[in-house]
Amino acid sequence: MKEYLKKVVNQEDLTLEEMKQAAEVMFQEETSDIAIGGFLSALSSKGETSDEIAGLVHVIREKSTLQLPQDIADALDNCGTGGDGSQSFNISTTSAFVIAGAGITVAKHGNRSVSSKTGSADVLEHLGVSLNFSPEQTQEILKENGIAFLFAPHVHPAMKRVMQVRKNLGIPTIFNLIGPLTNPIELSTQLLGTYRRDSLDIMANALNKLGRKRALVLNGAGYMDEASLAGENHLVLLDRGELLPFTLTPEEVGLSTIDNEQIKGGDAKENAAILRRVLEGETGPYRDTVIMNAGLAIFANGKAGTVQEGVDFARESIDSGAALTKLDQLITYSQKISQEV
């Protein structure tokens, strides 16, 4: 670790292979918390590169307990980094069912609340979705229902090694960026929201190094890690190795401007109720925000040729009842496996 720490302190970037080696050392029990903390702090001070992010993610994914066969066709994730401080309702979690209702397989990766009031796991658990799918059950529900939830602490037990160090440091580190990248399933496409607008190209390049064929990285108006209806959103499309930056306003896809204050959420009970109401067809700011985010994911996946077409697919997914059906079937499956235990 000393070798890599010295390079980073000297403002030298690590190669992808060097970061892999550093990460392997970092997760070893004999590595001191002081060494890990010093390394993470130095990385943060220098500024993380796409190679360093991809190298760390490679190691975390290799250590995952969820290793599925490579036959989950065109699976997508739409997880964000968190950390935007917006206190919004669970936009990406709600959007995931809309995306699945549009016919795209969704491997939804997430956790309990860290920087927000309510994490995806908290909301789904309140709705009756199990957080304890085995690898075999995850594979089955992905094939049968087209959407499953991957609870990060269960699929990444190695992360426990650095949790206390991160907590003691009390500053954002590389781990605040990589959550959405660590999905253990070999995703072909992805929608990734980041709270850091300066990281759009870095994250898109990291996704490319991790093998995504197509992905969309965004930072919303108000620096949200979701697409926002409050104004101009900044995005980078990764399409087979090429990075294409663009901006998008709600008006460009037929949606009204809405202040971010109007999409605030609450605790798990309140956010679960919002999620279900949106999927049941309630109109308003919550629905329109979900339609925009789901539409972007459908475009990122390639099912839609334009963002507008993606928005139209998302609207139809809700209005047809397909999105709600995906949620209800996941709840039913969860009840089934709980009865079998």
The binding site for anthranilate comprises 80, 111, 166
pLDDT at 74: 77
Helix or strand or coil: residue 304?
coil
Q: Kind of pairing, strands 189-193 and 214-219?
A: parallel
CA–CA separation, 185 and 128 (whole Å): 23
Tokens of 56: 């760390």
Residue 69 has pLDDT above 70, yes or no: no
Enumerate residues 6+ apart whose C-beta is below 8 A from 86: 116, 222, 224, 226, 260, 264
Tokens 């990444």: give the residue.
Answer: 156
Q: Name the average pLDDT for the chain.
A: 94
Whether 16 contacts 55, CB under 8 Å? yes
- Range of lowest pLDDT (7-16, 65-74, 147-156, 264-273): 65-74
* Structural element, H or E, at residue 265: none
Residue ranges per structural domain of the chain: 1-63, 75-331
Q: Which fold has domain 1-63?
A: 1.20.970
The binding site for 5-phospho-alpha-D-ribose 1-diphosphate comprises 80, 83-84, 88, 90-93, 108-116, 120
Instruction: Tell me the DSSP string of 90-118.
Output: -HHHHHHHHHHHTT--EEEEE-S-SSSSS
The binding site comprises 80, 83-84, 88, 90-93, 108-116, 120, 166, 225-226
CA–CA separation, 30 and 34 (whole Å): 11
pLDDT at 338: 76
Helix or strand or coil: residue 260?
helix
Q: Is the pTM of this model over 0.85?
A: yes
User: Which residue from 266, 260, 320 is spatially nearest to 289, judged by alpha carbons?
Assistant: 260
- Domain covering 75-331: architecture: 3-Layer(aba) Sandwich (3.40)
- Range of lowest pLDDT (65-79, 133-147, 163-177): 65-79
Mean pLDDT to the nearest integer, 9-36: 97
CA–CA separation, 76 and 60 (whole Å): 19
The binding site for Mg(2+) comprises 92, 225-226
